[in-house]
Each structure stands twice: as structure tokens, then as C-alpha cells.
Amino acid sequence: MNIKTILQFSIGPIGAALLSLITLPFVAWFFSVEDVGRLTMLQVVLGLSVSLFSLAMHQAYVREYHEEEDKAALLKLCILPGLVLLTSISLLILLLPFSISAALFGLDSGLLTFLLLAGIFASFFINFLAHVIRMEERGLAFSATKLAPKLLLLILISLIMLLNLTATFINLMLINTLSIVFSLLIFTWLTRDSWVIAIAKSVNYTLLKKLLRYSLPLVAGGIAYWGLTTMDRFFLRSLSGFEELGVYALASALAGAVSVLTSIFSSLWHPILYKWTKDGVDEKKVQNVIESMVIAVAMIWSLVGLFSFLIPFFLPPQYVAIKYLIVACVSMPLFYLLSETTGVGIGITRRSSYAMLASIMAFLINAILNYLLIPKYGASGAALATVISFFVFFVIKTESSARLWFSLPRLRIYVVVICYMLATTAMVLTKGSTFSYKTIWLALLLMVFILFYERLKKLWCYFTAYLKNGG
């Protein structure tokens, strides 16, 4: 995969992240903190639905894509089991004697229930069709699917403000669902050559069993990972209420802009890695990627720590705590991003149960820490639980990969992440009340540059050579 393709894949996620950073302050100013909390519950449920109903078959699709000749048949086999399960559960929900919307949002509304189900179905199909575009290495198409729904969401929110419409959660839910469905329409059009052919394909039960054997162990891990990333919202809602949840949720959403890097990297990394695996992977190449990722993670973490104090200037006064919460919240996508490289041995050896173990152990630790810390520290306690549990997730994946495949040098990596984790914990506990943190973040970054000096020098030489050759 060349630089041009990488840039094409990057345009969409980066643009979408920038649009989100524009949209979030609008939502914070125009809608109540409670409605921002309810919006978080919507996003939590959509994430759970994808984790549960996909049966992790999208990961099986990626793993077997280069091994199977009939890509359309593979796509159908991966979608079919989850679609049957999702349809059955949706019908059951409609027959239940109580309101799902009341349980999730504190509002009894048939319209909210309908919009929720529409968003779930759209998210389910988007999950698979996005992987089709990824594996076909269609960077511009992938970017278009990321940008278009964010643009629509921003336009709809702007219309609500310009037309002076009522800022209710139903309107907020409606525009979010419309943006998801719009995204699905784009995906459907761009992948029509794949899914139209897939419909007519017969079911290969032997291949289906092979796919399920790989994916089903990942379902428990996927649900555990969902819980790991979202349970703090449930604890905050029950122990602190929608207002505290809204502040923490906005901090997490802003930190989620860093997840754009995870999206870009995963879109590029897994296809490349499994191509390497098919041709005989070189451990040294993987080691180079890992060291480069450590440098990138350290730079991002330090920059967020240095400039987080600026964020409250763009938000209402009730969101001032974001200036120190966001540093902890950003650790989640950064730990995950790093684990995508240090844990490659799990995917290469097809030992998906180890990924499940990492998610489940981190999930349990997160649950315990949220229960213990939130009553005393509120949103700060949820943030600290996130930092510690994702560190555990990262360590288990890294050590599992070393045991299953290749025992890469790890001491320098652990020194870096532990130092950053300790600095983040101190900043949250003291509520970022001292200017010395700027010195700390700069010192940590300098330490990383010293520890990985050789890799940094090679990256600089590669970058300057690329510019000299005109890209």
C-alpha cells in the first residue's frame, strides 16, 4: 500500500473528526447536559448492537479475505447469521410490554424506539460494508462514507438552530438516525458490485462453520470490549445522574477524535498484515511498525496534555472539568491503537480466544474500579478506571502475542506507557491545577525520543527522502 492510498484512506476519518469537533460544541451549547447524556446512551446501544449482532463475523471476513477466491460468497456468509439474529431480537423487542426508550433514555416514546431500531439495522450493515471497502483498498470511497454523514449531521443541527426549532432529545435522536441511514445509503451504492452478487450466492456450510469457529470466541471479547468502553456511562448515570454523565460523555467524545487514528490505522494495518502473513511475515518489519506507533502515541498523548486547558474556552461553563478529564479519556483509543501492533500475534495465529481474554479481564477490572471510584470521585473516577483497565487490556494482548508468535522487546514500551499512565492519573486527581504538567508532558516526550532515537532518525530520513522525491 503506497503513500497515495494511505492519504486517500486518511482524508475521510480526519475530516470526520474535524467536523465532529465543530459539531460537539454546537450540541453542548444548544442542547441540555441531560440530552447530551441521553445521546451517549444511544451511542452506547449502537456500539453494543454491532458487537453483539455482527457475531464478530466482520473480523472473520478480514481474516479470510485473501484466502478465499469467492469474495461475494464470503460476504454473504459473514452477514447472514447476524442478520437473522438481529431481526429476531427486534421483533421480540416490539412485542415486549415495556418501553425500551423509557429504560434507556428516561422517555417513553414509540418514535424513539423506532429510530433506535432503524439506527441499529443501519449500523449493522455499515459495519460489514465498510470492511468490504477497506479490503478492496478503495481509499477515496472509504473517505466519502466517513465525511458525508458528518456533513449531514452538522447541516441538520445548524438548521435546528437557524430555524429556532425546539431543542429536544427527540430532534437530536432524529438527526443522528438520519445521518446513520444516509451513511448506509452511501455504503450501499459504493459496494453494490459486491452485495448484489452476494445475494444470489449459495450457502457453503463448511466455510460457514470455519468462519464461526474463528468469530464466535471474539463475540464475548467484543461484548466485553464494548462494556469496557461504555460501562462507565451506566455507572455515572446510576450513581451521578445525566448531568455528570453529560460532562464525561462530551470529554470522551472529544477524545474520540483521536480514534480517527485507530480507524485509519486499522483500515490500513490489517490488510497489510495479513498480506504479509500469507507471503511469510518478517518480524523485523512488525517491530519497526510497533516502535513507530509508540512514538506516535507518545506525541499525541503529550500534545493533549499540553493543550487540554484550551478546550473549556469553546464550551459552556458547566464543562470546565473536561480540561483534565480528556487526558484520561484519550488514553483509551491510544492504548487500543498501540495494542493493534503489539498484539498482532493473536490474529496471525488465529488464537482469537486471547483477544477475548484481554477484553474480559479489562472489563472486570473496569467494573470493579468504576464501582469503587465513581461514588467518591464522580467523572474523575470513571476516567481513572478507563486508564487502568485499558492498560491491562494492552498488557494482556501484548504478552499473549509474545507467547503465541514472536517475543518482541517490550521493556522500553512498558516504561513509556507506565510513565504516561502515572502522569495522567496525577493530573486527574489534582484536577490539572498546576502548571508543572506542561513540563511533565514535554519531559515524557523527550524521554520517548531518547529511548527510540534510532527509529525516530530512520523515520525522519524516510520522510525527507519522500519530500525530496516529490512524494
Per residue in 121-160, pLDDT tens? 998 998 888 888 877 777 777 777 777 777 877 887 777 7
The x, y and z cell numbers of residue 254, run together, are 472529544
Using DSSP, state whether 129 is helix, strand or coil. Answer: helix
What is the spatial distance between Cα 467 and Cα 462, in angstroms, rounded to a whole number? 9
Q: Among 154-158, 294-298, 375-379, 433-437, whose mean pLDDT is lowest?
A: 433-437
- 360 against 283, higher pLDDT: 360
In sign, the C-alpha dihedral spanning 367, 380, 384, 251 is positive
The proportion of the chain whose per-residue pLDDT surpasses 90, expressed as a percent, equals 14
Q: Among 114-128, 294-308, 352-366, 384-398, whose mean pLDDT is lowest?
A: 352-366
The three-point CA angle 364-390-442 to 5° equals 150
What is the spatial distance between Cα 463 and Cα 471, in angstroms, rounded to a whole number? 9
Radius of gyration of the chain, Cα coordinates, nearest whole angstrom: 22
Residue pLDDT, tens place only, 303-354: 988 888 888 787 777 778 888 888 888 888 899 888 888 888 787 777 777 8
| Cα-based distances in Å from 218 to 37, 58, 353, 358 | 29, 11, 7, 11
The x, y and z cell numbers of residue 454, run together, are 534510532
Instruction: Check whether 5 has a pLDDT greater than 70.
Output: no
DSSP one-letter code for 202: P
The x, y and z cell numbers of residue 40, run together, are 451517549
DSSP one-letter code for 312: G
What pLDDT score was predicted for residue 374? Answer: 86
Query: Ranked by mean pLDDT, which of 2-6, 41-45, 262-266, 373-377 comes out on top?
Result: 373-377
Q: How many CB atoms lie within 10 A of CB 315?
A: 18
What pLDDT score was predicted for residue 354? Answer: 84
What is the spatial distance between Cα 313 and Cα 311, in angstroms, rounded to a whole number? 5
| Side-chain half-sphere exposure of 232, counting CA atoms within 13 A | 35
The x, y and z cell numbers of residue 192, run together, are 453494490
| Side-chain half-sphere exposure of 20, counting CA atoms within 13 A | 22
What is the spatial distance between Cα 414 and Cα 391, in angstroms, rounded to a whole number? 10
What pLDDT score was predicted for residue 4? Answer: 66
Q: Among 47-51, 335-339, 382-386, whose mean pLDDT is lowest?
A: 47-51
What is the spatial distance between Cα 424 and Cα 387, in angstroms, rounded to a whole number? 8
- Mean pLDDT of the chain, nearest integer: 81
What pLDDT score was predicted for residue 299? Answer: 92
- Which pLDDT band holds residue 271 (cuts at 50, 70, 90)? low
Residue 191: burial class (beta carbons within 10 Å; 0-12, 13-18, 19+)? buried
Question: pTM of the prediction?
Answer: 0.68
What is the spatial distance between Cα 198 and Cα 236, in angstroms, rounded to a whole number? 44
- Which pLDDT band holds residue 394 (cuts at 50, 70, 90)? very high
Residue 278: burial class (beta carbons within 10 Å; 0-12, 13-18, 19+)? exposed
The pLDDT of 50-65, averaged and rounded, is 83
What pLDDT score was predicted for residue 388? Answer: 93
The three-point CA angle 146-358-44 to 5° equals 40
